[in-house]
Structure formats: C-alpha cells, structure tokens
Chains A and B, each alone.
Chain A
Amino acid sequence: MCLQILPSKPNLNDGWMNGWMAMFASMSRGNIEWGDFFGGLGVSFGEQSLSLQTRKNLRSRHHIVRIKYKVIGGMKVEPAMRLVSKGLLIASALWSLGCCGWMAECHGDILVPGLSSRHPLKESQIGALLRSELRCAACHLQGDGEKDGEGGRVLEKSAPDLAGVGGRIDPEYLKRFLQSPSAVHPGTTMPDMLVSRSPADREAIATALTHFLVAQSQEMFQAEPVSSERIEEGSSLFHSVGCVACHEPKIALVQEVDEDDDEQVRKRDQSVAGPTRGISLEHLPGKYSKGSLSAFLYRPLKVRASGRMPDMKLTPAESEAIASYLIHQGDVATQGRIALTVQQELVESGKKYFEELNCAACHELPGIASAKKVAPIQTNTLSRGCVSNEPGKGPRFSVDQRQFAAIRASLPAEGDVNPKMELQNELDQIAMTLTAFNCIACHVRDSYGGVPEDRNLYFRGTEMNLGDDGRIPPPLTLLGAKLQPAWLKRVLFDGESVRPYITTRMPQYGSENLHHFTELVAQTDTLDGVELRTPSPESRSDEEKALERRLRPAAQELLGDKGLNCIACHNFNGKPSPLNKGIDLMTTRERLQPAWFDRFLRNPGAYRPRIIMPYSWPDGVAAYKNILDGDTELQIEAIWYYLSLGTSAADPSGIRRPEMKLSVADMVRTYRGRSGIAGFRGIAVGFPERLNYSFNAETGTLTGIWKGDYIRVDRGGQGSGNFNPAANPVTLAQDTSFIADLDPTAPWPLRPVMTKEAPANPNPLYPKNLGYQFRGYYLGELNNPTFMYSSGEIQIEDRSEVIVEDNRIMLQRRIAFQSPSDQSRWFRALTGDIAQGAPQVYVGKNMSLTVPVVQALLRVDPSVAESKELLLKLEIPQGSSQIELIYELQ
C-alpha cells in the first residue's frame, strides 16, 4: 500500500523536508479526507504489504478490502486467490439475484451495454441511441432534416461481415439463430426476420439461409477440441483485461470487509443502485470453434467494423486462451458438430430469401442490392412497427417497454414536421459516443460513468500502492484540455499506453468510429491556464539563458528524493522508480497540455478525488521554500521545462540506472565490446562453471581470467555496451602474443600507448605489422568459441575450456597451428612477478600457468624493470600441431 512509504521513514517529524509531508499537511487542512484516501486504495492482496505498525495506524481509519473468487452458476467455489477470509460477505447476495430471472422480467435484453452503465442520457437520447444501434435507418428513410443514424456524429452500429461466416460460425448455430435470434443470444441487435412465419417455414427458411451463407465462405467451420490447459489463463484474462466491463463475469469477486470497518464506508459500498448487467456469452460454445473465436477476439473489427466489440489488444495466444475459456464445456462442445454439406438448391433458395428479407440492408454481400427504403419511422405507427409486438410481416426487434418508450420519445411528436434535435451540442454528442462505446463502464466523465461497485474488483493493477489510479482507468473529464490532440489520437487509434501497471486495457475502437470524438473534446474541453515558459533552443536571449540555468537544477532537485520525491511514484526516463512504478514523467510533454499540467500539479485532488499524489503547493504555497525561493509558478515552470529536455535530462536523485549484468546459463557465452581488460576489440567468454576469460582480438591475446559472475555491461545512457568483469579478475598483458623473431636483448614489441596528452596512435598498424590478423571465431560444443587468427602464414585456432579436478577449477587452453612449412614462433605466455614452480609450472600473481615442454625463456622484462616475462619458443612443424596451457587461479 502506498503508506508503506511513510511510516517506514523514522523521521516523520522532519516532515516538511519530505514531499510526502505536504500531502499530510493538506490532509490536515481538510483537502483530502482520510476515508477517501484509503478508500481509494481499493484492493489489498492479502496482508503482505503492510507493516504491523502501519496496519495498527490504519485499522481504525480505513477498511481493507479482500477479494475472493466464486464461480457463478452452481460451479464449485474456487478460492483462486487465497486471502484472509473473515468479515462480511456483501455482494454475494447481489450476485445470486443478478443471475436469477426477476431482473429479466423488469428489463428486456441489454442491447446496448452502455445503457447499463451510469450514462447521462435523457430518455429521448436513449431512444436515439437505440435507433442508431438497432440501425433503423438501414431500412427506414430519415425524416426531413434528420441526420443519418440519429446518433449525431456517432456512426451507426454495423452488422457483422458475412463474408467468412460459414468458416467462423457453426452452421447449426446459424440455423438456430436465424430462427429466433434473441432466444439464442439474448441481447443481440439482430431482429427476428421470420416472426410472421409458421414454425415449419422458419426452420425451412433458416436452413436455406444457412446453406446460402455457408456457401459464401471459402473455409468450412471446423469444431475442434478445447484443451483444458489454457482455460485458467483465459479466465484470468477474461476477468482482468476489461471484457467484464460489457459482458457478464463468470466468476464473482466477493468483497469482504473487516469487522472494524468504518460504518460509513460500508454504507457507501452497499448503496449500489443495482447489479451491473452485461451481455451474456452463454451462446458462444455453440457458436464458435476455438480457432474462429480466437481469430475474432484477435481482430474483432475485421468482422464487426463499427467497434462496439473493440480490439482488446490481445495477442494471438491471449485470444486463444480466452476463446478456450469461453467455449469450454467439458467435451460437450465437440459433440454433434458435423460439417454441413452444402446443397445447391438450398443455396439458391437461401439466396432468394436473403434478397426477399432484405438482409442486404445491413449485411453487404457482393452482388446483392438492398431494397428500397421504407417510410420514416413515425410515432403513430410505432406500435405496429418492428419494435412492437405486432410487427406484421416486418422484422421484430426484441425491445422491452422501456426501450420502446425511449424510442417513441426520440421521435417527433405526431404532426410535428421538425425532427427532434436531441443532440443539440457537443456535450450531448460526447455523452452519446461514450455511451455507445461504453467508455463509461471504465471511465468517469464529469458526473457520469465510472466503474460500478460490483465490477470494481475486476479492475486490478501491478502497482497497487498507487491506489485507484494504479488500477482504475483515468477520468475523461476535461480530456480535450488534458491531452495533446496528437497524443489522444495515439491512445485511441494507435494503441499507445503509458499505464502498463493497469491490468485493464484501453481497447481500440477503430479510428473511423471515433474520429469525431477527438474533435468534439477539443471543442468542449478547455482550460484557461498560464503560459509555461520553455526556453527556446534557438537564438535565446541572455535572460532566457539565465532562466534556464536556474530552472534546470531546481527541477532536478524538486523531482528527486531530496525534494518533492515525484520519483517515488513515477518512473523517469525509462528507469524504474525505486518504489511505485507509475507513469514515466518523461512522457509528460508528449502527452499533456501545459494549462492542465499547471492546474493538476497545484490541486491534484480536484482532478482525481482519490489520488495519492500529494499536494506540493497547497493553497498555492510551495512546500519547498529553499528551491527557487519557494516561487510556486517558477517551480512548476521548472518541472515543465525540465521534462522538455527529453532523455538527456539528468536523473533526479533517487533514480538509479539499472545494473546490466550478463549471466551465463548452461551454455558458454561470448560477448564483444570495449573493455579495460581486453581493449576496444575485446571479447569476454563465460562458462557455466563460473570461470570466465577475456580475449583481446586486436592483439590475439588472452588478457584476463576471473571466477564467479560473468560481466557487467554499460547499456545505460550513451553506453556502447562496454563490459567489465563482474568479479575481481587476474589481469594479464594485452600485447600481441606471437612474433616470428626475437632478439633476446630486445624488449617484446608492446602495443602502442595513447595518453590524454598524446592521444594519437603512434603505431597504428600494430600488431598487423608483426604478422598478426584476427579472423573471427566459431562456436562449438555448448557454444564454446574457438578464436581464429594468423601469425604470418600460420593459421591459429585458439580454444579454451574449463576442467574441474579435485575441486580445482582450471582453464585449459589449446592453441592449434596449421603451417605451410616448418616455422618457429615466440609466444609470450606470462608477464609480471613470475616464479618457477614445479616443472613446466610458473606462478604469477594469483595464478599459476602450466606450459608445454618447449624452450622457455624466463627473463627480466627489458621494458619494465622488476617485471619478468615468460617466453616460449615454439617450433611449429609443417601441417597441424598444437600446444596446451593450463591456467589456474589461486
């Protein structure tokens, strides 16, 4: 919980030095109610996150909500989340009520999920929305002056694309559905087209239509068994990514409340108007195969372009898991589902019916035109029309009395020539849009919408300490004044998201369908605000430069843990917050408008009643008097400016660059990069046995050995991936290892040294001018690399492996030669403080080296006094030969 941050700090009384304390200050002034504050924390997953002390402090002030799974529909109760189970069950009664029939008697099918949410529409507006969602205008002419769809600028709901329906949907289901749509799928907006026909006719026509529709598809429907493996994952996704905002949950999350809970809070939780109703998915097992439902869930807009069923940003694997979950019925699902054999005469008659019933008015199929439109809907004929119980030969929509009344209310009064203008302004159009797409199931806007209590527990997050803002989608109040227009489009149409910690996903409704919405909110949502200054990158005045010099360090201090500690709950520049990983602050300038930013910082609670973000400038007074002289305007401006600096803004105190340690698993690992231990053309090799060595490819030399962890690499900032051993290494010389001739009195040819004073390479061809050329490496068993290089005409392969003997771990290095003739080479095996040990064994600093029986010269290094070097003279015969060296760390 967020309060972890507070009591764990011993210096509560030094509070004014701490940004958090500003929040307490404002609370004590009554800006935030404690109850609101803790109520906002919502769900606690068990007790793990609260220290004892904290719990004691909090007990009396807030309620801890616990959740528990219960499967609806008589299935066993499954405590999927093992949580403390004491207290009162509040919602279980509601659940059992919600599932029984009496509700249905009061209300018909839902038809439009948004109308089950807390929408702001008047009755006539509801009617207009229903007409748009039921698509009355597909058959009816519009009255004079009426706009298409009547939903104002909301595009009508469109019917599914039938092009592939035969492959997508079980023909048996199709037939049943065509006979009686709302009986098979309560809540469907598909009307009953055959209501006036006899039962026998209904079946015959439905059969013919089914054959016709199946014949439209290239692919045939194939039922397939659903394995139970993915079901649990599917259930988890279904109940968390947002499906239950519109659909009935299949698992009830039951809220338990501590006995010592605040009476007021309990009352609030109980004051639910009624259970939220979602579209049932009980028909799915008979309708889809696992594959066809997965494909639909992955790209719903492909079949249903109007976006009422939005794209939930599922991956194919996630789609399959949810599909498995939704159609799983034991083994029942696969029984009795035999592929339909299309009969041509039925196809012909089906086509005839398709035309006769004017299906093409809603479902476009190539080559079939829709019929001429019929007269506009009128109030006086409504009781005999397709939304009545006496539709005559027309279709019958399954609307209940309330819906009927709403539709009637939306029509012009009898004799009234002017159509009703229910959507007089942009605010109405926004409300209509948000209801049509049921955005209000998750989002609050102004006084409407928001997550209902009985769906609240399905909204979860991974950063629960952020409170409701860590799990409930953000309010849409003043949306157009908050977000940059380009960013709003990215969120709506490009799937952009900055809140990965919220489990519920922001769906994609299709840019065609919501295009108008971005314009509407831009028109209606405005905030007067200050100009926040950002020094211009070009032709800055001295005054601006001076301002910049003040703002930059001030903002860095304000953001950090020595200041307002914004980074306690915000990531920064792609680097995680040390505590709660909330929205990355560096997204601010890309997303937000300056006026909103300014107002929000001054009074976060005004925009988010339950936000845990502290008040840093309560009543406009800066909590930090020592930064920018406590000037509120300047402090806010400084932060705004700082966040414009992009990724070059230095990290505030408290943000740490994550360490990049590469580790070795069960295969040998090879990594190239700049390194102090192996030069710019360095290579690090790590073995599963936790022994590692480095190789300088520029000189062909083994340059270091270490036990333990492999390497750290610098991939932060401008880091080019340079590496360093992750444990203390034995470092060896990096000069070239092989030369053809050696004057015993002359020093070994050392690699050129560049210094800060003399940075240019004085010997740029070294060691190629000594015959050396690196040729690469290849990976062998366990990916162990063999380095390839040459010394003059001699081709060399150099491979090391780890050997373990009697708890001793050693590096065995084999150097193989391929030579066109007998040749000799000097090999510099070791340098430094070397002593001869056993025969063939030389002991250096922290390491011993066993060398082959060859001519060895242990001499004082002519170039470095008091240092020795071990040189081996290798007589390399024509053809293949090899030597072996063993390195052992001490």
Chain B
Amino acid sequence: MNCNKNRMYPSGNPWNSRAFWANVCSLWVASFWVVAALGGRIKAEEVGQRWGTELREREYYPIVNIPIPKELVIEAGAFEVLPDKRVAVATRHGEIYLISGLDEPKPNPSYHLFATGLDEIFGLSYRDGVFYVTQSCEVTRVIDSDQDGTADRFETLSDGWGYANYHEYAFGSKMDAAGNLFVTLGLSNSYDSFALFRGFVMHVSPSGTTSAFASGLRSPAGIGTDEHGALFYIESQGPWNCSCSLKAVSQGSFHGHPASFNWYPYAPELGPRPEQPKSGSRTIVERERVKQLVPYAVVFPYIRMGRSITGFTVNRTGGKFGPFENQLFLGDYTQSILMRATTEQVNGVWQGACYPFREGLSTGILNVEFTPEGNLLCGGTNRGWPVRGIKPFALERVEWNGKMPFEIERITVQPDGFKIAFTKSVEPSVGSKPENYRVTNFTHPYHAGYGGPEIQRSTPEVRTVELAEDCMSATISLDTMSRGFVYEFDLGLLRSQDGEELLHKNAYYTVNEIPNR
C-alpha cells in the first residue's frame, strides 16, 4: 500500500497538506487553532454521494416534520422518553424541552421549557424524577424540587475530566439498570489529548464516583448498548480511523488512537498503559501486540455509509417500526441519513454489519430515539459543518407505514461465508444462483494519518448458495474468509417473489473473527 498517493492521508508533515486542511475541518474535527488559522472560516467540503433511494424509501418509511414554534431554536442533541410518554429533547443551546403529542397523525406538539442555561447537551437519561444530563462540562442531576414544572436544582454528579479545548465534546449514555452512566470524551483536537482523560470513556457510578473505563477514542459521539446489552460507542473517521465505526467498549479496552495514553498515570484502575500501536499496520496485526486494542466492530465505509455518525438507539418497538426489531439505528450528521447496524459476538469479539436505511432528512442528525408509538425521532442541526440537510435545525419523525420493503434484514457470519436474511422471500430462481451474490472485500490501514483508503480489495468467489425453504434467507459460502476485512455485498440482482428489487442493495459486514465449524 502506498499512502503517498492518496490525498486523504498525506505522509510527511500533515500540517502542510492542503488536503489535510480540507479534512481536518470536517465534522468533529476542526480544532480551535485550525479555525483561528483560517480566520474563522470553515473550508467547504462536499457532503458526498447519495444512495439515490429516497423516492423508494418514502413509500415505506415516510418522514413527518414535527413543527417547532417559530420562536424556538431546537438543535436536538439528546432525547429521552419519559414514563408519562412525553419526550424530553435536550439541545445544543443547553435547554431541555418536554414535548407531548409527537406521535399524533398530524403532529402539533406542545413544548414545555423545563431547563435552560446548560452547556451543549449530548446525553439525557431520566430516572425517578431526575434527569441525568451529560453536558460538555459535566454530568448533572437536574431536578424540579418544588414540582412547579421547571428545573431548579442542578447537582454536579461528575466533572471528573478536563475541559479546556475547542473540540472537547462529551456524549453520555442512558443509565443502565444499576444506575451507571458512560461518557465519551473527544480529544482536544484530532491528534492530541491536552486535558485530563480526553479520549477516554468514563464510568460514572450512581453516587458520582468517576473512573476511567476505556481509552483510545478520537472524536466519539453516541454511546449505548446494542440488542444484547453490550456497550458500544460511535467513532468518527480521522487519525487511526479510516472510516467511522461502531466499537465495542469494555473495562480497559483501547480503541485505536494512542493520544490519550498520557493519562494512564491518573487511571490506575486501567492498569499499565498499552503498547504504542505502530502506524501503517493493520488492526488485525496490532491487536496481537497491543492486547487492549479492540478491533472495530462495525466499519461504516466512509462516505458510502456516513461521514460523521452521531447518535444511535435500539429498535425495541415490538414490530411497530417494521421488520428491523432489535437492530441499531444510527444518524449521520453530514449526510442527513439514517443507517442500521447489527452486531454479534464471535470468538469473544464483537462484529457485525451496517445497512443503508433512509436518506433525505432535513438537517444534520445529532441523535435519534424511538417514541412511545414506535416512530423514530431524529433531530439535530446543520450549522458549522457541511451538512446535506438544508434546515438549520429540525425534528422529524420517521414512521413505518405498514408496507413491507424488500430489504436485507440482517447478515451474520458463518464458518465459510455468511447467512443473509431478508424481509421478504426471495425469488428462488434468482436467489439460488451464486452469481447473483456479488461480494467484495477490503481492509483499511491502521495508521496515524487522517482517514485512509480501502485497500487489498479482492473479490472472493461465491461457491454455493443455500436458499432457506421459506426463501427468507440465503447462506452463501465463499472460497476464502479473511479476518480483518470488511465484506461488501451488492445484491442488486436479487428479486423478491413479487419481482421487486431490493430497496437497498448494499450491506457491509466487518469480519474480525470467523466462527469455527
């Protein structure tokens, strides 16, 4: 692989590269110094190609705009559904609104301002009358102690990290059953950790005891659990990350970017600092040497599957949202799109697949949440970074209209291939032919450069297809299976038994481990 030929990660001094500057200014990347150097101007950058599926997607998953009163600016950063079915929306402007009526057929919700004056909220959880708010500076218990409908008590639960640089956002998880919260802390810029624990996942206990939990983060966004209850966070493309990816977090895990190693002396609970990873290697190689390095569970090929993935949630709507129960739904800021992901654990390592879901949202998506009626509420803003959606801010509800799309429901790994489940039965004459399953694979370099190419691309041969009796799934076997590769599926030749094309023909499975026969 020759890095020098690719504009995404120039070798030598990256600070001198124009391409570097263009990239460094993309979402979650621009450091204060960069902005200052450019005189406050953000360099323009295109937001990437479209899937071109919006017109078909809307036949199954229409988007309903949630009206926002003219006088309000609601740049949603976090959502929480309350026991009384109101939805709390927390914003970049540091406000929390309680909204009712989101699920009405023609929504005309009422907005109640519950709290104000907080600092960029990217995490919101509610338990026993208390909001647990992750704002940039701290995790705060926000309480309405006199029960007059507005918050009057803001108790600091945890501020156990440094906060001193432009780029340092904090995203908080929902509270787990035992009352624990997890907070992801972005680096001070794409390359450095100048303030305490920047680049770490912090664990905050119900009493506020705060401890370092995992390291190696770059510019993380949402953190939460998947369908199995395992903890994941979303990482952005950048140094040591050639694409955005979903990463599995566990106590002491290291997630690839070594800038945060300098804080290990302050985190004895994490043990010794990991080995320094070698730039220009592969994660599959480095994870043998750097024991704490956890391979990226689901890689979202850059631009084809998002450029700055932000918040995610699990679909537990009991079928109200259609065929993708228990799957992760993720929003992307730059492209104003929604994607799906599924996860599975193989040989003790998490991996899985991602799938296009819906494009054409109106603003950059910062977070998503299912409403009480099983609609997917999306919100965010488009200011500051390149965003495809044209609204400065918006709340939108994606709903399933009951029509069944023909989609790849889920891909799981097999010892010599994959099992592909569909939402509708596949036309057997088409679905039983190996040549209708086009599979390629690639890997990314693991390196300090900014972003990176898809390399070592090859086309494994699909040897056999075994279509299930109900034609709802197909098991394919390949001539080779390679760990450390992303498998890209193009199933555009398949047809359902009604003759439909797949709504989205692509899916991407990250193989970290191959199950034993």
- Is A95 at the interface (CB under 8 A from chain B)? no
Would you call B117 and A671 a contact (CB within 8 A)?
yes
Would you call B45 and A673 a contact (CB within 8 A)?
no
Expressed in whole angstroms, the minimum distance between the Cβ of A186 and any Cβ of chain B is 30
- Is B155 at the interface (CB under 8 A from chain A)? yes
> In the complex, what distance in Å separates the CA atom of A493 from the CA atom of B62?
9
- Is B478 at the interface (CB under 8 A from chain A)? no
> In the complex, what distance in Å separates the CA atom of A148 from the CA atom of B48?
45
- Is B41 at the interface (CB under 8 A from chain A)? yes
Chain B positions within 8 Å of A485 at CB level? 55
Known contacts A537-B48, A648-B43, A670-B117; A299/B392 CB under 8 A = no
Chain B positions within 8 Å of A496 at CB level? 65
* Chain A CB within 10 A, most for which of B43, B64, B154: B154
Chain A positions within 8 Å of B55 at CB level? 485-486, 489
- Is A602 at the interface (CB under 8 A from chain B)? no
- Is A812 at the interface (CB under 8 A from chain B)? no
> At the interface with chain B, which of A104-112, A255-263, A639-647, A846-854?
A639-647
> In the complex, what distance in Å separates the CA atom of A459 from the CA atom of B63?
30
- Is A760 at the interface (CB under 8 A from chain B)? yes
Would you call B196 and A715 a contact (CB within 8 A)?
no
- Is A525 at the interface (CB under 8 A from chain B)? no
What mask results when residues 776 to 799 of chain A are scored 1 for a CB within 8 Å of chain B, else 0? 111100010000100000000000
Which residue on A lies nearest to B69, using beta carbons? A315
> In the complex, what distance in Å separates the CA atom of A710 from the CA atom of B461?
68
- Is B86 at the interface (CB under 8 A from chain A)? no
Would you call B188 and A672 a contact (CB within 8 A)?
no
Expressed in whole angstroms, the minimum distance between the Cβ of B307 and any Cβ of chain A is 9
Chain A positions within 8 Å of B325 at CB level? none
> In the complex, what distance in Å separates the CA atom of A649 from the CA atom of B386?
8
Would you call B390 and A587 a contact (CB within 8 A)?
yes
- Is A775 at the interface (CB under 8 A from chain B)? yes
- Is A879 at the interface (CB under 8 A from chain B)? no
Which residue on B lies nearest to A642, using beta carbons? B44
Chain B positions within 8 Å of A537 at CB level? 45-49, 303
Would you call A648 and B45 a contact (CB within 8 A)?
yes
> At the interface with chain B, which of A81-89, A717-725, A824-832?
A717-725
Interface residues of A in 635-676 (CB under 8 A from B): 642, 644-650, 669-674
What mask results when residues 60 to 87 of chain B are scored 1 for a CB within 8 Å of chain A, else 0? 0011110100000100000000000000
Chain A positions within 8 Å of B155 at CB level? 775-776, 788
Chain B positions within 8 Å of A680 at CB level? 136-137, 163-164, 168
Expressed in whole angstroms, the minimum distance between the Cβ of A509 and any Cβ of chain B is 14
- Is A630 at the interface (CB under 8 A from chain B)? no
- Is B430 at the interface (CB under 8 A from chain A)? no
Expressed in whole angstroms, the minimum distance between the Cβ of B281 and any Cβ of chain A is 24
Would you call A644 and B156 a contact (CB within 8 A)?
no
Which residue on B lies nearest to A683, using beta carbons? B117
Expressed in whole angstroms, the minimum distance between the Cβ of A703 and any Cβ of chain B is 15
> In the complex, what distance in Å separates the CA atom of A761 from the CA atom of B262?
11
Would you call B153 and A776 a contact (CB within 8 A)?
yes
> Looking at the complex, which one of A299, A311, A721 makes contact with B94 (CB distance below 8 Å)?
A721
Would you call B42 and A673 a contact (CB within 8 A)?
no
> Looking at the complex, which one of B48, B164, B262, B386 makes contact with A648 (CB distance below 8 Å)?
B386
Interface residues of A in 290-337 (CB under 8 A from B): 298-299, 302, 311, 315-316
Expressed in whole angstroms, the minimum distance between the Cβ of A777 and any Cβ of chain B is 5
Would you call A779 and B153 a contact (CB within 8 A)?
yes
- Is B92 at the interface (CB under 8 A from chain A)? yes
Would you call A759 and B117 a contact (CB within 8 A)?
no
- Is A566 at the interface (CB under 8 A from chain B)? no
Chain A positions within 8 Å of B119 at CB level? 672-674, 720-721
Chain B positions within 8 Å of A719 at CB level? 383-384
Would you call A717 and B388 a contact (CB within 8 A)?
no
Expressed in whole angstroms, the minimum distance between the Cβ of A692 and any Cβ of chain B is 13
Known contacts A574-B383, A672-B94; A720/B120 CB under 8 A = yes
Would you call B135 and A672 a contact (CB within 8 A)?
yes
Would you call A646 and B162 a contact (CB within 8 A)?
no
Known contacts A489-B55, A649-B44; A774/B105 CB under 8 A = no
Would you call B42 and A648 a contact (CB within 8 A)?
yes
> Looking at the complex, which one of B41, B152, B194 makes contact with A760 (CB distance below 8 Å)?
B194
Nearest 5 CB-CB pairings of A with B: A718-B384, A648-B386, A764-B196, A574-B392, A537-B46
Interface residues of B (CB under 8 A from A): 7, 25, 30, 33, 35, 40-49, 54-55, 58, 62-65, 67, 73, 92-94, 105-106, 108, 116-120, 135-138, 140-141, 145, 151-156, 159, 162-166, 168, 188, 192-196, 262-263, 266, 303, 334, 360, 364, 382-388, 390-392
Contacts A645-B45, A672-B117 supplied; 16 other A-B pairs, CB < 8 Å:
A298-B106, A299-B106, A311-B106, A540-B7, A646-B387, A648-B25, A671-B94, A671-B116, A673-B94, A697-B159, A715-B93, A721-B119, A759-B192, A760-B194, A776-B155, A779-B153
Task: Give 9 A-B contacts (CB < 8 Å), ordered by A residue.
Answer: A490-B360, A538-B49, A552-B44, A645-B45, A669-B117, A681-B163, A721-B92, A761-B196, A764-B263
